[in-house]
A and B are shown apart, each in its own frame.
Chain A
Amino acid sequence: MGTNAFHSQQKWNLGFIVFLTLLLVLLAQISTNLTLIFVLGISLGFVLQKSRFCLVSALRDPILIGMTELTRAFLLLLGISILGFALVSWGASQRNIPLILNVFPLGVHTVVGGLLFGIGMVLAGGCSTGILMRIGEGFAMQGVAFFGLVVGAVLGERSLITWRNLFGEWSGIFLPDLLGWVPTLILEIAVLVTLWQLAKWWQKKQLGE
């Protein structure tokens, strides 16, 4: 981005497009499903890079510089995802399609893991998704972070059993089971709207715009 002399990389771009197309064609011989997933993965990486979407910035910038624009965009992403997931799981249940949602068990390790993850992503300059994206962008620092992530993940997976034995764990609570679908969605969207207002107020307070 910061280079003065502009070097066109269009030849490389063309080559890469050919390479990706070949990969996709090859994959399509094996599985249509995986091909679609690969296309979605590529799109996610592309959009993340182009929109500079980063959850570290979304959570850190309000604290460091008082900016909450990305924080509010993330709240929007959460809102779309909550409503969309509700719609998709309703559609799946209508057609008897099995669908796994991420309702994970809850324990002391949920909180400890979240704290460590939060501290870690600020130090590493990206969460696990952000690290993959920045490796793609050519950052060496996130390459190092990736190595740490891999080792840490293996250690974490192996110590999970110890955390469970020490503090126990409760099975995850699927909020619609507890409150019903409509109240859950109203409650969740209300929380997001409140956070949105709070973020807006915070930026105004910090930056005075």
Chain B
Amino acid sequence: MKKTWQTIIHGPWAYWVGAIILGMLNLLVLIVRHQPWGVTQNIEHWAEWIGTNLGVLDDQGFTFMGLMTSSGTYLNLGLLMGAFWATLVASQARFRPIRDRKFFLSALIGGLLMGYGARIAYGCNVGALLNGIASSSLTGWIFAIAVFIGTWLGSKFLVKYLL
């Protein structure tokens, strides 16, 4: 019993346990939100608002109150806080610095490619892949194949230049 509790608190949980609970949560989001779980669109909306306020962008479509009452904001904020809390309950919370300058560059370029790709394909791994397929949309399956090929190309690059 104590050992089970230890595993629950400290992890890691088995992948299949994660899959089942995440599946249930994904359904609950659909039920409560009347729309599937998604990540990047809300991030993009915040970026438009912040950019416009800083004078870098010009998009008057978003207001602070509008964003603060948008469900996507609470999903993303919750995701971040939930992950932080998960490390804290196990006394594993700490700052993890970048070990090498090349990883700084790869993170920056990777993030750029990912953000661009997600927005021209209407979503990321969650909104377009997982929930595209879950919505029985043909686009979801095609996006998944493209992401898989992209991952394969990226891995080749990673092995050749970064590791």
Which residues of A come within 8 Å of B, CB atoms?
1, 3, 6-10, 12-13, 16-17, 20, 27, 30-31, 33-34, 36-53, 55-56, 59-60, 63-64, 69-70, 72-74, 76-78, 80-82, 84-86, 88, 92, 97-106, 109-125, 127-129, 131-142, 144-157, 159-160, 163, 172-176, 178, 184-185, 188
Contacts and interface: CB of A to CB of B under 8 A. Distances in A.
B115 A174 contact: no
A128 to B, nearest CB: 4
Nearest to A150: B47
A42 to B, nearest CB: 4
B63 interface: no
Contacts of A112: 117, 120-121, 146
Interface of B: 8, 11-40, 43-44, 46-48, 51, 57, 69, 71, 74-89, 91-98, 103-104, 106-140, 142-155, 157-159, 162
A41 B75 contact: yes
Main secondary structure of the interface of B (DSSP, over half): helix
A20 to B, nearest CB: 7
20 contacts: A20-B85, A27-B74, A38-B78, A43-B78, A45-B83, A47-B25, A59-B148, A76-B19, A77-B26, A85-B27, A104-B140, A118-B147, A120-B109, A122-B151, A125-B106, A132-B39, A132-B83, A138-B96, A149-B118, A174-B138
Contacts of A106: 138-139, 142
Contacts of B114: 116-117, 120-121, 124, 127-128, 145, 148-149, 152
B121 A114 contact: yes
A63 B40 CA distance: 26
Contacts, number: 518
Contact of A34 (B71, B124, B159): B71
A113 B143 contact: yes
- Nearest first, the 4 A-B pairs at minimum CB distance are A118-B150, A41-B78, A148-B111, A45-B82
